[in-house]
């Protein structure tokens, strides 16, 4: 995709800041209206989504972020392989405004522990990977990869150079809908109980001056999982917990008073679910508690 000149040049300095967190612009479907002051407690049913754009959320379990000069760089960890031997795929995205490029780095590792600057237009991803020792037994070893990008005029080059284990390769930005939607996820919070693993995804959409954080929920009762578009447009999520057939989501939301002034207040939602035949039910109940 096309970037403005500032965004292209920012790729060379994006590595001046190192962090592991979340924030990134993007597009997400189903933008809900902003909250108004004094919104009433409500209950509604939400059905599991079959939207192919959401396909990667089932596997997404970690997001790492760098931010510099208006450019967001994020590394996404997705499960899907044999958990006994690595099983984590890594994607990388670069965003400026509503423009985003995302790459499948083509690695199968255990986890990413750090993303940092190592020079002009270069990132180092550090983590762990499983390997076999001389007796064919699994052992954990360090993982390192250098990722190099470059601006091209007022475009961000769609190709990245990867350096790992003394070898160099290139990857080209992907264009599929599920990967494109995943790049709008800027944070996720998870909670587990005996019956379910719950992950709430925060995605950017709408006007950031008034909420703009659209929420999605994935419930997993191993090995089955389902994703739900909650239709909630909030400012931020601060806590996710689960127990006794419920997921509790707490955070803050913007509201507009009668004079048109924007304020902020806390919210709490309870998601009631059931597990049938070792799988989350197709329908959940969303209840506004506060």
Ordered DSSP codes for the chain: -B--HHHHHHHHHGGG------------S-PPPPEETTPPP-EEEEEPP--GGGGGGGTEEEEEEEEETTEEEEEEEEE-S-TTS--EEEEEEEEETTEEEEEEEEEEESEEEEEEEEETTEEEEEEEEEEE-TTS-EEEEEEEEEEE--EETTEE-SEEEEEETTEEEEEE----HHHHHHTTEEEEEEEE-SS-EEEEEEEE-S-TTS--EEEEEEEEETTEEEEEEEEEEESEEEEEEEETTEEEEEEEEEEE-TTS-EEEEEEEEEEE--EETTEE-SEEEEEE--
pLDDT at 24: 40
pLDDT at 214: 94
> Is 9 a residue whose pLDDT tops 50?
no
pLDDT at 207: 66
66-75, 192-201, 273-282: range with lowest mean pLDDT? 66-75
Select, from the ranges 7-21, 35-49, 94-108, the one with the highest average predicted confidence (pLDDT): 94-108
Averaged confidence pLDDT in the chain: 84
Higher pLDDT, 121 or 2: 121
23-27, 82-86, 123-127, 197-201: range with lowest mean pLDDT? 23-27
> Is 286 a residue whose pLDDT tops 90?
yes
- Give the separation between CA 230 and CA 257, rounded to whole angstroms: 24
> Is 188 a residue whose pLDDT tops 60?
yes
pLDDT at 18: 36
> Is 26 a residue whose pLDDT tops 50?
no
pLDDT band, residue 119 (cuts 50/70/90): confident
pLDDT band, residue 121 (cuts 50/70/90): confident
Q: Where are the domains of the chain?
A: 5-38+50-178, 194-288
pLDDT at 223: 84
250-277 tens-digit pLDDT: 999 999 999 999 999 999 999 999 998 8
pLDDT at 23: 39
> Is 2 a residue whose pLDDT tops 80?
no
pLDDT at 209: 75
pLDDT band, residue 85 (cuts 50/70/90): confident
In percent, the amount of the chain with pLDDT more than 90 equals 64
137-185 tens-digit pLDDT: 889 999 999 999 887 665 578 999 999 999 999 999 999 999 999 999 9
39-60 tens-digit pLDDT: 445 899 999 999 999 999 999 9
Give the burial string for 217-247 (b: 16+ CB within 10 Å, else e): bbbbbeeebbbbbbebbbbebeebebeeebb
pLDDT at 184: 92
């Amino acid at each position: 995709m096309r970037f403005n000149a500032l965004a292209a040049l920012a790729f060379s300095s994006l590595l001046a800041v190192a962090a592991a967190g979340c924030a990134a612009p993007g597009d997400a479907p189903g933008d809900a209206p902003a909250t108004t002051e004094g919104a009433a407690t409500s209950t509604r049913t939400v059905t599991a989504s079959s939207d192919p754009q959401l396909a990667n959320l089932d596997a997404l379990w970690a997001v790492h972020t760098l931010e510099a000069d208006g450019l967001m760089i994020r590394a996404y960890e997705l499960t899907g392989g044999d958990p006994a031997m690595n099983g984590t795929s890594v994607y990388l995205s670069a965003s400026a405004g509503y423009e985003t490029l995302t790459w499948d780095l083509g690695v199968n590792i255990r986890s990413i522990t750090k993303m940092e600057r190592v020079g002009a237009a270069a990132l180092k991803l550090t983590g762990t990977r499983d390997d076999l020792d001389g007796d064919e037994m699994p052992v954990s070893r360090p993982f390192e990869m250098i990722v190099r990008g470059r601006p091209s005029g007022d475009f961000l080059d769609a190709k990245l150079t990867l350096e790992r284990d003394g070898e160099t390769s290139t990857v080209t930005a992907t264009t599929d809908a599920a990967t494109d939607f995943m790049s709008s996820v800027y944070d996720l919070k998870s909670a587990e109980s005996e019956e379910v693993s719950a992950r709430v995804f925060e995605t950017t959409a709408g006007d950031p001056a008034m909420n703009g954080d659209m929420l999605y929920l994935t419930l997993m009762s191993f090995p089955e999982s389902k994703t739900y578009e909650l239709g909630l447009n909030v400012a931020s999520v601060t806590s996710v917990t689960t127990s006794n057939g419920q997921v509790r989501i707490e955070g803050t939301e913007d509201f507009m008073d009668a004079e048109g002034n924007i304020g902020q207040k806390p919210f709490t939602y309870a998601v009631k679910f059931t597990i049938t035949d070792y799988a989350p039910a197709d329908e959940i109940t969303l209840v506004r508690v506060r």
